[in-house]
């Protein structure tokens, strides 16, 4: 039996079926049709509709395979990651503007004197963050459109891509374990922040990324004598991608220090 697509016809079919069921259930009562209570009538209607669906050749349950579910879940995760990265870029632009305001000269508010910025304190990265047994040194930089430029299949950490008209500047650092034993480098547990003062006077906050080798958030064990590469990224206008003169500003909580980076 096939379900009628027209709702009125479907309802009429169910009514006829109910009448048929009721008449078959009568014994010795002639052609009388019982006056069923409303609740009993609803149950009979549901039962009749179930029979129609059971014998409808075009009826089938909607099923989703595990593969289809996993694919849809992956799409949603990628979309969420892209939205989060876009929001983070907007936050970083605002943080860079605030950092630039902090490092620039300003008035005291009453117009009587000029407030001078504090004298910069120059120090090594590992010394500033209290890291022992691991020496972290600057290892140059590269300018590119995306980082990393090559990824392995199934790499979940994602790719940082420069927005149109801009370039990524990837500052590289070498982390050498000189302690003679395996050491944990846990930057994620520190309240660390980085920014870069460029030669044109602008200041750019380091981008927050999902990269496993991001200096500001990495947490990895470096084997004795091993040398790992860590990075920090900023985004600049394509016409200003020459950053040969750079000072890195480091913050650890309320402490602040600077480090001149070699080109």
DSSP string computed for 113-136: SEEPPPPP-B--HHHHTT--SEEE
End-to-end CA distance of the chain: 81
In the block, which residue shows the tokens 């117009």? 111
Q: What is the pLDDT of residue 190?
A: 92
| Confidence (pLDDT) at 223 | 94
Taking only the tens place, the pLDDT of each residue in 3-58 is 444 555 555 555 555 555 555 444 444 444 455 566 666 666 666 666 555 555 44
Map tokens 């609740």 to a residue.
39
* Element housing 207 (H / E): none
Mean pLDDT, residues 110-127 taken together: 67
Of 182 and 15, more confident: 182
Q: How far apart, in whole angstroms, are the C-alpha atoms of residue 24 and residue 118?
A: 98
The pLDDT value given to residue 57 = 47
* pLDDT higher than threshold 90 for residue 181: yes
Q: Which residues pair with 249 in a beta bridge?
A: 195, 258
Question: Tokens representing 47?
Answer: 């039962």
Higher pLDDT pick, 151 / 1:
151
Contacts of 200 (CB under 8 A, 6+ apart): 240
- CA-CA distance, 262 to 173, in Å (whole number)? 11
Distance of CA 95 to the CA centre of its chain: 19
What is the per-residue pLDDT for 238?
A: 87
* Per-residue pLDDT at 81: 66
- pLDDT tens-digit profile of 200-242? 888 999 999 989 899 999 999 999 999 999 999 999 998 876 7
Q: How far apart are CA 113 and CA 142, in angstroms?
A: 42
- For residue 3, the model assigns a pLDDT of 42
Tokens at residue 168, please?
């990524």
pLDDT at 42: 63
Among residues 132, 211, 135, which one has the least CA distance to residue 173? 135
Please list, in sequence order, all residues whose beta carbon lies within 8 angstroms of the beta carbon of residue 81, skipping any fewer than 6 positions away: 158, 210
- Band (pLDDT 50/70/90 cuts) for residue 259 is very high
> Does the pLDDT at position 177 exceed 90?
yes
Residue 44: HSE in the Cβ half-sphere, 13 Å Cα cutoff: 19
Question: How confident is the model at residue 200, as a pLDDT?
Answer: 83
């Amino acid at each position: 039996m096939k379900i009628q697509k027209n709702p009125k016809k479907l309802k009429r079919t169910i009514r006829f079926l109910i009448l048929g069921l009721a008449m078959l259930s009568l014994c010795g009562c002639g052609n009388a049709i019982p006056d069923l209570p409303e609740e009993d009538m609803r149950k009979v209607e549901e039962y009749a509709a179930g029979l129609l669906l059971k014998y409808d050749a075009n009826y089938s349950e909607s099923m989703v395979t595990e593969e289809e579910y996993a694919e849809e879940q992956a799409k949603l995760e990628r979309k969420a990651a892209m939205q989060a990265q876009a929001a983070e870029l907007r936050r970083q632009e605002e943080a860079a503007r605030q950092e630039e305001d902090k490092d620039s000269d300003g008035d005291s508010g009453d117009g009587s004197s000029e407030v001078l910025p504090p004298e910069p304190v120059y120090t090594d990265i590992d010394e500033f963050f209290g890291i022992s047994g691991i020496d972290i040194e600057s290892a140059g930089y590269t300018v590119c459109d995306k980082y990393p430029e090559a990824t392995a299949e199934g790499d979940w950490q994602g790719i940082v891509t420069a927005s149109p008209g801009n370039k990524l500047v990837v500052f590289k650092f070498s982390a050498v374990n000189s302690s003679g034993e395996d050491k944990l480098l846990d930057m994620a547990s520190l309240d660390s922040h980085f920014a870069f003062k460029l030669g044109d006077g602008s200041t750019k906050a380091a981008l927050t990324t999902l990269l496993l080798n991001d200096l500001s958030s990495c947490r990895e064990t470096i084997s004795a004598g091993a040398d790992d590469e860590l990075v920090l990224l900023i985004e600049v206008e394509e016409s200003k991608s020459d950053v040969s003169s750079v000072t890195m500003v480091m913050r650890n909580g309320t402490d602040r220090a600077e480090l001149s980076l070699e080109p």
